[in-house]
Chain A
Amino acid sequence: MGALGKPIILMVAMYVFLKFVLPYIPGSAPLPSSLIALYLLLTGSGIVIFETLSKESKDAFWGPIQRFLTGETIGGLQALRYGVLIFFPLLVGWQTYGSTAVSDLPPTESRTIHPAPPGEYTGLSNPVPKTPDNIMQGKGFYAAYCSPCHGGNFDGKGPAARGFIPAPANFADPTTIAMLQESYLFWRIKKGGVGLPIEGAPWKSAMPRWEVELPDEWIWKIIMGEYDGAHQSPRTWE
């Protein structure tokens, strides 16, 4: 089995490298399984070409495979041979079934959580001076209009939040308002769930369109109150 042993070790080593070593090299990332399969296929093809370059190496390579398949002079491997001969048709059948069966999974939803705002809502700065009074007022408005869903503790766990999927944003979470600019919040608060673009589908956001109920100045104050209450700062470009 010498001529077969090396290729098998090489294939296993290649798989281990691609799967468990490569992702940990700085600047790298885990490979998708389809890419790993492709690399293994290339490795396998390379081995076959290499082993069939000369007549000797070809016989040394194919001989054991051929003896194994025909079952002659393989002794104790006979059981393994029958196993392979039974397993292969079952594998082909299972794979065929898998590729023709109808999926029971609902359509995947590729919702963009923070879609790009329309041009007029990029780069606006908060026109309300950041004074303790204004922050206090903003927190008051927040308590009245936002806290039922987004929570008195700015954690997205208000009494009315239950049942909304996606859940109301948790402002204390560093991946929400901390990575957004104030003008982005201004857009989302003004336009609400119905202001989402197509990439925000399936439009399950219950966020109200506050522009029909609240003046802009109140919204800017609410934004200030949210950042202060959640102990976060808006993202800036500096």
Chain B
Amino acid sequence: MKPGNQMIKQVLRNGTAAIVAMIIGGASIGYAQESVSVRAALTTGGLPLEDPNAAVWSSAPPATFPMSPQVHWQNRIQEVTVKDVIVRALHDGNQMAVLLEYADPTQDPDDAAALEFMVGDKKAHFAHGQPMLQVEGGPVNIWFWKNKTDKAVDMSAKGFGTLKPQEHQDVKAKGVYANGTWKIVFSRNLSTGHAEEDVQITPGEFISIAFAVWDGRKDGSGELVEKGSQKAVSSWWYFRADAPPDYSGYMYAAIAAALALGFQFVLIRKLKKGQSA
């Protein structure tokens, strides 16, 4: 009987441990929160770098973010045209593309939009990386697109008034306007050689992203209503490029289940032997 008893103790101990682990880890069942992050889906069929209407965009989950008038710094604006942006993203392991979509009743030469990213490990204020008074913040990387040129400008800033185009222009952009909607694709390599000024995107890691939009309409006197700091903005949200599929979790689970099953067989055999002896 002795070995049998010890075996039973063992199985009870393991069982209790498994149940305890289940209770503790029970809340960790993960699910994607599209409302707080942009998920760049991994695709193998080539990225639609120049085509905001490509069918493959439908494979990227859309995320919608609310926009506010920029009030943090002068010159402010109290009402803006664009109330929401819908964002999709794709990547292929080398390059990434972000599709920005929003309603704008009129197409104007001065229509413009931008993505903003934190650069490096230091946090930055969403307003152009405006310097924090108590903590040293980091710079931001801004990808700016304007309808007039239909090109992207790769820029850096660390506070208002410090925005400037970078020496190395790594970003491309292309906009298409139809049916009262702008669709703009921004694209870049996931990583660049300039980590001190460009955001570096590592699949699987969350980074911070923010958005800005200018409606290039003019008021009665021919002046631009939204220009410079007078724009629609969002604060920080998350962006993550999907990591390549990793099936090792299933493998480990199968191994663990097989071990548990084997353990049961051995245990019961020993118990039966002990009983008949």
Contacts and interface: CB of A to CB of B under 8 A. Distances in A.
B59 interface: no
A157 interface: no
A204 B145 CA distance: 24
Contacts of B68: 160-164, 206
A96 B256 contact: yes
Interface in B3-17: 4-5, 8-9, 11-12, 15-16
Contact of A85 (B24, B83, B264): B264
Contact of B204 (A71, A102, A204): A102
Interface stretch (B101-109, B147-155, B191-199, B245-253): B245-253
A66 B72 contact: no
Contact of A192 (B26, B33, B72, B257): B72
A191 B256 contact: no
Interface in B189-217: 204, 206, 208
A29 B179 CA distance: 57
B275 A66 contact: yes
Nearest to A94: B253
Contacts of B243: 102
A162 B66 contact: yes
Interface in A70-121: 70-72, 85, 88-107, 118
A201 B123 contact: yes
B30 A101 contact: yes
Nearest to B27: A33
A198 B133 CA distance: 10
A198 B132 CA distance: 9
A21 interface: no
A48 B6 CA distance: 12
A121 to B, nearest CB: 12
B238 interface: yes
A41 B123 contact: no
Contacts of B71: 148-149, 160, 206, 208
Interface residues of B, number: 81
Contacts of A71: 268
Contacts of B206: 106-107
Interface residues of A, number: 65
A96 B267 CA distance: 21
A70 B272 contact: yes
B234 A202 contact: no
A96 B257 CA distance: 9
A208 B73 contact: yes
Contacts of B12: 48, 65
A210 to B, nearest CB: 11
B8 A204 contact: no
Given A34-B23, A70-B268, A194 B131 contact: yes
A103 B133 contact: no
A92 B4 CA distance: 22
Given A95-B22, A102-B246, A203 B15 contact: no
Contacts of A185: none
B253 A97 contact: yes
Interface of A: 33-34, 36-38, 40-41, 44, 48, 58, 62, 65-66, 69-72, 85, 88-107, 118, 148-149, 159-165, 191-198, 201-204, 206-209, 213
14 contacts: A48-B12, A69-B267, A90-B257, A92-B260, A93-B257, A100-B248, A100-B249, A104-B30, A160-B69, A163-B233, A194-B130, A195-B134, A203-B126, A206-B68
